[in-house]
C-alpha cells in the first residue's frame, strides 16, 4: 500500500543536464507503464526498468509512486488547457448561416477534447478513472472544467440563435457532453464503425440542435 500523504513534488531539482534527461525518461517510462499495466499493476520497479534505471534513481526525483502519477496528471491537464486555448485563439472560419456560425464556435471545444483523448487513451483512462486522484489535482481539474463552462456560457450568450433559457445550465451540458462522449467514444467498440471526424461532426450537430431548438 502506498504511503499516502507526502510531498508529491519532485524531491530534488536536477542541476546537471544528465539529470534532467533522467527525470524526463522516468516520467515517460511511467506514462508507458501505467498505460500498459494500469495504476496498481505499474510498479516503481517496472517504471525504473522501463526507463533503463534503478529504483534508487527513480526515488531521487520522485518521492513516491503517487508523485509520478500526480505529475502525469498535471502535465495532461496543462496540455488540455493549452490545447483548448490554442483552438480558441485560432481565427474562426467565416460564418455563413446562423447554425453554421454556432457550429463553428463549438468546433474548437470538440476538437480540443478529441485531441486530448486521442493521444493516449489508455493512459488517460488510468489517470482519470482508475487511479486515486489527489485532492489538489481534482481541484485543478474542476477549476479547468469550471473555466470551460464559463467560457461556453459566455459564448452561448453571445449567439442570438441560442434559445436556451438558462445559458449556465446549457453550458454545463455542452461541456459535459463533449467531454463524456469523447471519452466514451475512444474507448468503445463503436469506434470501428465511425471515424473520429464523423464522430466530431455528429457531436457538433447534436449540440447545435440542442442549443438552437425552438424554446419551450
Partner DNA sequence: GCAAGATACGAGCAATAGCTCGCATCCGAT
Partner DNA sequence: ATCGGATGCGAGCTATTGCTCGTATCTTGC
Residues that bind DNA (CB under 7 A): 1-3, 6, 12, 14-19, 21-22, 40, 42-45, 52-57, 59-60, 63-66
CB 34 within 8 A of CB 123: yes
41 in contact with its own copies (CB under 8 A): yes
Which strand (E) or helix (H) includes residue 195?
none
- Among DNA, its own copies, none, the one that 202 touches (CB under a kind-dependent 5 to 8 A) is its own copies
Dist. CA 100–CA 98, nearest whole Å: 5
- Among DNA, its own copies, none, the one that 45 touches (CB under a kind-dependent 5 to 8 A) is DNA
- CB 45 to DNA: min, Å: 6
CB 129 within 8 A of CB 123: no
190 in contact with its own copies (CB under 8 A): yes
Q: Which residue has the cell 442570438?
A: 160
List of residues 6+ apart from 54 with CB closer than 8 A: 48
Scanning residues 105 to 144, which ones bind its own copies (CB under 8 A)?
129-130, 132, 142
150 in contact with its own copies (CB under 8 A): no
Query: Does the CA dihedral 140-206-169-99 come out positive or negative?
Result: positive
177 in contact with its own copies (CB under 8 A): yes
In terms of CB distance, is 60 or 212 closer to DNA? 60
188 in contact with its own copies (CB under 8 A): yes
Q: Which residue has the cell 469523447?
A: 182
Amino acid at each position: 500500500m502506498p504511503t499516502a500523504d507526502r510531498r508529491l513534488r519532485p524531491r530534488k531539482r536536477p542541476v546537471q543536464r544528465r539529470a534532467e534527461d533522467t527525470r524526463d525518461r522516468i516520467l515517460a517510462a511511467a506514462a508507458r507503464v501505467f498505460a500498459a499495466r494500469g495504476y496498481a499493476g505499474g510498479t516503481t520497479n517496472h517504471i525504473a526498468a522501463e526507463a533503463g534505471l534503478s529504483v534508487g534513481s527513480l526515488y531521487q526525483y520522485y518521492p513516491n509512486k503517487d508523485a509520478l502519477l500526480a505529475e502525469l496528471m498535471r502535465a495532461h491537464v496543462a496540455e488540455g488547457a493549452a490545447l483548448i486555448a490554442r483552438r480558441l485563439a485560432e481565427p474562426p472560419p467565416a460564418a455563413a448561416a446562423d447554425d453554421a456560425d454556432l457550429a463553428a464556435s463549438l468546433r474548437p471545444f470538440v476538437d480540443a477534447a478529441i485531441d486530448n483523448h486521442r493521444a493516449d487513451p489508455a493512459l488517460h483512462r488510468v489517470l482519470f478513472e482508475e487511479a486515486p486522484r489527489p485532492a489538489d489535482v481534482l481541484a485543478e481539474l474542476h477549476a479547468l472544467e469550471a473555466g470551460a463552462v464559463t467560457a461556453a456560457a459566455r459564448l452561448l450568450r453571445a449567439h442570438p440563435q441560442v434559445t436556451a433559457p438558462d445559458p449556465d445550465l446549457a453550458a454545463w451540458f455542452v461541456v459535459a457532453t463533449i467531454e463524456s462522449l469523447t471519452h466514451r467514444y475512444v474507448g468503445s467498440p463503436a469506434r470501428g464503425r465511425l471515424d473520429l471526424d464523423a464522430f466530431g461532426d455528429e457531436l457538433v450537430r447534436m449540440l447545435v440542435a440542442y442549443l438552437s431548438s425552438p424554446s419551450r
